[in-house]
Amino acid sequence: MAEISIVVLTKNEERNIALCLDTLQWADELLVLDSFSEDATVHIAQNRGAEVCQRRFVNYPLQRNAALRLAQKEWVFFVDADERVTPELAEEIRHVTSEGGFAGWWVPRMNYMFGKWIRHAGWYPDYQLRLLARDRAHYDERREVHELVELDGEAGHLESALIHYNYNTVQQFCAKQGRYTDYEAWMLLQDGQRARPHNFILQPLRQFRWRYWTLQGYKDGWHGLVLSVLMAYYEMVRYRKLWRLQRG
């Protein structure tokens, strides 16, 4: 049977880390790569049996590549502190890693936002490439967020879902999306794209229509409506930031 390292990246995650690690005790190696937390994260992780290493955080791909080098087992499974692994997912991972054939596996995620599992508007199944053959995977270090895995081989798709307690409040959602749009606007500029006045209206409208109608966000009730409106708003923010960048 193939052995598996489970890696959790942390920074001040004392509210989440215990419940996360409690669902990962089946790992052959449990590794927490911490970015010098200032709370009780490290103490809690050590009490849960995790090996804790610390490394200054620069960006996500650099941190994940560092974790791949630290891990000792054949397979590496990345889990975030606000995620939980069900027994069904753990069993499926054990099964597929023992069969061979793929260099990685996409894992579906169930995103809980504002207290509800969001099934539409692009939030489910929300596949993440998290289960990797350690010697056949590398993160593209040019992508600072929404990391891109460079995989030496094909990837399969798991059926059991990873549970993600994503956003508890609208304020939390807005804070994270605000940070994402800073980077995304810069990437658009680097790709040679330029903002035009009509983008401030048409792009948010397209985003809302795509989320709410095409991806059936309306089936999630007011949660789907609010999320579709918020994503449309941040599409406008992204192009507004691009406009400012291109004007120097």
Per-residue confidence (pLDDT) for residue 22, from 0 to 100: 98
Q: What is the mean pLDDT of residues 21-29?
A: 98
pLDDT score, position 147: 86
Please compute the mean of the pLDDT values over residues 202-226 and round it to a whole number: 98
Domains and CATH numbers, the chain: 4-166 (3.90.550.10), 169-246 (no CATH)
pLDDT of residue 8: 98
Reported as type and span, the H/E element at residue 29 is strand 29-34
The tokens for 51 are 């090996």
Query: How confident is the model at residue 189, as a pLDDT?
Result: 93
Residue for token pair 């199944």: 125
Residue 94 has pLDDT above 80, yes or no: yes
- Give residue-wise pLDDT tens across range 136-173: 999 999 887 788 999 999 999 999 999 999 999 999 99
Nearest to 77 by CA among 89, 62, 59, 60: 89
Closest CA to 204 of 174, 232, 241, 225: 232
Q: Are strands 29-34 and 51-54 parallel, antiparallel or unpaired?
A: parallel
The number of residues making up the chain comes to: 248
Tens digits of per-residue pLDDT, 49-83? 999 999 999 999 999 999 999 999 999 999 999 99
Q: How confident is the model at residue 1, as a pLDDT?
A: 86
Spatial separation of the C-alpha atoms in residues 148 and 153, rounded to whole Å: 15
Share of the chain above pLDDT 70, in %: 100
- Give the whole-angstrom CA distance, residue 174 versus residue 167: 10
C-beta separation of 6 from 30 below 8 A: yes
Q: What is the pLDDT at residue 143?
A: 81
Question: What is the pLDDT, as a whole number, of residue 185?
Answer: 94
Which residue blocks in the chain are alpha helix, DSSP H?
17-22, 41-47, 60-70, 87-99, 170-190, 199-209, 221-246
